[in-house]
Amino acid sequence: MRRPHDTWAEVYDLAYEEEFGAFYEQLTQLTLKEIGKIADPPSSIIDFGAGTGRLSLPLARRGYQITAVEPSAPMLQRLRGAAVDVDIACIEARMQDFRSDQKFDLAVCVFTVITYLLDETDLRRAIMSAQNCLKPRGLLLLDVPSSQVFVSRNLQTDRIIRNVRIQPESGDLFNYSEEIVLIEAGCTDTLFADQFMIRAWPTDQVLGLARDCGFTLVRDLSDRFASSGSNYYLLSKQ
């Protein structure tokens, strides 16, 4: 089954670097800094929606024990290819389907991961997956994207043309479509395209489900990530 980002995994990082420039790296460094405050190496961390390793790779290089969970095989392949100097356990799975006997100190679920959960059943299952794989008093770092994330946008740089369309469907569901054209030596004939559904989740609903699944809110970190378009929360397994 095709997963979101399968068709453009090879240009995923380039697309975000070109669109968001220095802010993309700043957000990464800010997230790493906050994780460093939460847990010291060699704590065990599970990175849900790990993508190409934006967080998993630098965390592993800082001495954390990292398990990267990612549903897109091409994205995970790129992570594996970049992890030549570190040992990262890479698992191809959706967050809501993940099961493990290993227990972790910290679970990370950020950068719009929950928007790919389209109904409350899957959201609850995903939160329970995090709960089940954490040690007692283990922590979950979670972001909840705000409405400003769900907007269409166009971009053209010297390297890419990127068109993102986010169209409202029923309720909080949105149809996401993406087209990326690489500009190489004056040529613009390399096209990458994708389409999938995403959902905007109300913060109160997410935190309420987390509470029902056995989490307590430790800290609201949203002010520290104010320019990210998402609210960030640190939760603790009861």
Q: What's the length of the chain?
A: 238
Mark whether 36 and 115 lie in a shared domain. yes
At 97-144, the pLDDT tens digits run 999 999 999 999 999 999 999 999 999 999 999 999 999 999 999 999
Domain total in the chain: 2
Does 229 map to a domain? Answer: yes
Are residues 161 and 73 both part of a single domain?
no
- Judge if 133 and 48 occupy the same domain: yes
pTM (two decimals): 0.96
The answer on 131 and 206 residing in a single domain is yes
Long-range contacts from 82-88, C-beta under 8 angstroms, 24+ separation: 82/52, 82/53, 82/57, 83/53, 83/56, 83/57, 85/61, 86/57, 86/60, 86/61, 87/60, 88/53, 88/56, 88/57, 88/60
Asked if residue 188 and residue 89 are part of one domain, the reply reads no
Q: What is the mean pLDDT of the chain?
A: 96
Indicate which CATH number applies to the domain containing 229.
3.40.50.150
Q: Which domain holds residue 186?
A: 153-195
Instruction: Report d(CA 138, CA 103) in Å as an integer.
Output: 9
> What pLDDT score does 186 carry?
66
Q: Is residue 63 one of the residues assigned to a domain?
A: yes
Chain segment 31-41, per-residue pLDDT in tens = 999 999 999 99
Say if residue 231's pLDDT is above 70: yes
**Predicted confidence band at 1 (pLDDT cuts at 50, 70, 90)?**
confident
